[in-house]
């Protein structure tokens, strides 16, 4: 099993608000990896829209993404494209 961690600067103009969070959660449905996102001291299960919204990530914030699974590299690259 592969574990991939990456720090990603949120460049989406809306940050991690409703629409981008929904796009993120929907995109993860096609992957098997377990994924967590941390912004500041908050940590979220990336498959839970409520959890992602609670992060309150804004444009310019750094998100630490951790994925665990056979498709971890692919899922982190997908998240980076969304953020």
**Catalytic residue (choose from 6, 12, 14, 17):** 17
17 catalytic? Reply is yes
DSSP category for residue 69: S
- The answer to whether residues 68 and 3 touch, using CB atoms and an 8 Å cutoff, is yes
Q: Which of 78, 65, 80, 77 is nearest to 34 (CA)?
A: 65
* Residue 54 main-chain phi, psi, to 5 deg: -65, -20
Q: Which residues are catalytically annotated?
A: 17
């Amino acid at each position: 099993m592969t574990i991939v961690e990456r720090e990603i600067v949120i460049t989406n103009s809306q940050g991690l608000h409703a629409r981008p969070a929904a796009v993120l959660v929907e995109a993860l449905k096609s992957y098997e990896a377990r994924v967590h996102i941390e912004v500041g001291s908050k940590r979220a299960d990336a498959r839970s829209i409520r959890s992602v919204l609670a992060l309150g990530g804004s444009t310019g914030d750094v998100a630490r993404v951790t994925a665990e699974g056979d498709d971890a590299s692919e899922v982190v690259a997908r998240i980076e494209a969304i953020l």
